[in-house]
Structure formats: structure tokens, C-alpha cells
Amino acid sequence: MSLPSKPLAGLKVIELGSLIAGPFAARICAEFGAEVIKVESPDGGDPLRKWRKLYEGTSLWWFVQARNKQSITLNLKHAQGLEALKKLLAGADILIENFRPGVLEKLGLGWDVLHALNPKLVMVRLSGFGQSGPMKDQPGFGAVGEAMGGLRYITGFEDRPPVRTGISIGDSIAALWGVIGALMALRHREVNGGQGQVVDVALYEAIFAMMESIVPEFDVFGFIRERSGNIMPGITPSSIHTSHDGKHIQIGANGDAIFKRFMQAIDRHDLADDPTLTSNDGRDARRDELYGVIDRWVGSLPLQQVLTTLTQAEVPASRIFSAEDMFSDPQYLAREMFLSATLPDGKPFKMPGIVPKLSDTPGGVEWTGPQLGEHTEPVLTALGYTREAIAELRRNGAI
């Protein structure tokens, strides 16, 4: 029986970018079958190759972020390197780039040029502040986008300065918007008979779009949501608590029926039957009292007993997982969220599984992040370059 095809098979994606936002967007395309050709500088390539924990000189993150991609090196400051890139783009479906606005234009690769070269090309542009507006030319990393987009303002405890999340979430959310935009543009192209277009994603807007109700709450009531630590103001109870053995657990009992079951499970029938607590607004008015009750109950028991009680009562809860917890968790394992792979020297290692799960055309990993320029020659050969022409490009410093 033949293996199912992947949903993006047949699409060619050219990645011009580095670090997180652009490469993560391209990684998602590659996992679901697109041919992704990552264009890197001959001078060291993507800086992500040297970020965080290195194994034999290469980032472990790189092996995940660049999986299923082909790596070619082109010197875009060299006329022959630019010419090779144009040949690639002439036959591509999607270009993903996360340069500062204006960089491609200075190289002679603005949208007007690329659209004339390939009218069906979809160009995904990820930048700090977008391709327009007074801030468009300023550099902007994901952390800046998180600050400007409102996420940092509400993250942390009310009596302390704002804090960051533990990952570069702004870049990753922007990447997701980039993929969504690319797929919508492809839908328009293929179903509605349209041409290619630009998908313009600003990092701060990618975050801002996720900020729930802060805009109407400020506009209508003048209300500014502030930092609130582990609780969710206005939605009660939902918070993190600490067990007797020092473990942390998230409990989300803010549904009306769930709250009643929770109170019954911990023998607080007085609260379960209290008519003032049957809906969220009443519970939130007595938030401090309820959190005190829950803190005392969780704090009197070991974590496993807390989890067992909540599971039996069908109350949503989870211990706070570390990577070590994930590796042995039955749910993670059942969902195949750890894939086995090997590093270049043959050492086995685990990498994250595929999200989302598609029933008929699932994504997958064919290979880990490639060596710098590993696919330069076969890609250029497919474009019509002869062995002699490729050797000349190498001698001239174009690749």
C-alpha cells in the first residue's frame, strides 16, 4: 500500500530568512510536504545554527527548525548569486522572508520585480512593524513585538515589573500567522483564479491579534488589564497552586458545573450549594476566599492525590510539566509527540512531533536540519546549471 501524500506536496517554498519567525513558518510547510529550499549566506549561514545548546558545534534547535529543508548557499551581494535566486523564485509558489523592510528592495528584489517575474508567487513578509507605517524601517525582534503588542504588559505579578514567557513566543505566533496567510493566498490563487500577493505580518500585530478583549474593555469602560500573576481576573477559579510535596498544579474549575463538582470532591458542599457561587460573576466577587480554600486543600496533599481527586471529579487540571515530565507522559507518547532521529554522527535523539494531526494526509519528518549548503549543487543542477557553471559560481564567490 502506498503511503499517503502530504497536503502541501507539489508546492515549492523559498526561505530567505534566519533565526525564528521566517524559518519556523517554512518548517511547518516542510513538515506537510512542501519542497522548502532555504537560502543561506555562504559565510556561516543562519545564526540559529549556533544558538542555545550545541552538539559538535551545531545547535540542537537547528536540527529541528530546519528539518525537511534543503540548504543552499547564495551570496546575494553577488550578481550571479542574485541571478540564481531569481531563477529559483521564477518557479516557486511561496517566498518567506524576514528581513528588515527595504532589504530586498535594495537587492532589486522588491514585490514589483518578483510579481513581474512570477505572477503566481505568494510573498510572506515577516518583520517587526510591517511593511508600512512610521516604524517600518526600525529593527524589531519578537521580544519587541511582545512588548508593543501588549503581551509583556499583562505578564507577571502585579507588584513586580513585566516578565517574558520562557520562549520566543512572538516570533512563533507571527510564523503561524504567516502560514495562515500564505494558505489563504494560495486558496485565492487556485480556487478564485487570482494571482500571487503579499502576506504582510508584523510581529507586534501578531501578538496584538491574540490579546482577547483588551481593546473593547478599554474603549467602552476605560479598563486596562494589568498583571495578575497566576490567576485569570474575571474568570474564577483558574490558577496555579502548590501541593504538600512542593509540586505545582494548574486547576481550571471556572465552568459552573465543574466548580460544583470540584467543591463536592473536596467536601466543601457549603460552597458547592451556595447560590451566590453558581455563576462566574458571583465566584469572581469572592475570588480571594475561593483561592484560599483551594490553596489550603492542595497544600495539604501530595500532588498525585490531588490529581487523582480532580481526575475522578472531571475537573480540568495538570501538573506543571518540565521536559523531563513530558518524556515519560502516556498522553505525549500515545500522540507520538516525540520522534526518533539521529544526529550527523549517528547519535539518536528525540525531536518534537508534528502538529496538527491530519487523519488522511499527516505531516512527517524525512530528515533533520541539513549541513550548510548541503543541497546547493543538486538544486542548481535542477535549475539547469552545468557542473562547470556551478564550479565557476564557487570560484567567483557567488555560492
- Active site positions, annotated: 171
Taking the C-alpha atoms of residue 23 and residue 344, their distance in angstroms, rounded to an integer, is 21
Grid coordinates representing 385 are 546549471
Q: Are strands 69-73 and 35-40 parallel, antiparallel or unpaired?
A: parallel
Task: Please state whether the peptide bond connecting residue 134 to the residue before it is cis, i.e. omega within 30 degrees of 0.
Answer: no
Nearest residue to 145 (alpha-carbon basis) of 206, 201, 210, 92: 206
Question: 70, 35 in Cβ contact below 8 A?
Answer: yes
Grid coordinates representing 121 are 508567487
AA identity, residue 373: G
Spatial strand order of the sheet with 198-202 comes to: 69-73, 35-40, 12-16, 94-97, 122-127, 198-202
Per residue in 192-226, is it b (16+ CB within 10 Å) or e — as a string? eeeebbbbbbbbbbbbbeeeeeeeeeeeeeeeebe
Taking the C-alpha atoms of residue 61 and residue 50, their distance in angstroms, rounded to an integer, is 9
Question: 12, 91 in Cβ contact below 8 A?
Answer: yes
Taking the C-alpha atoms of residue 37 and residue 14, their distance in angstroms, rounded to an integer, is 5
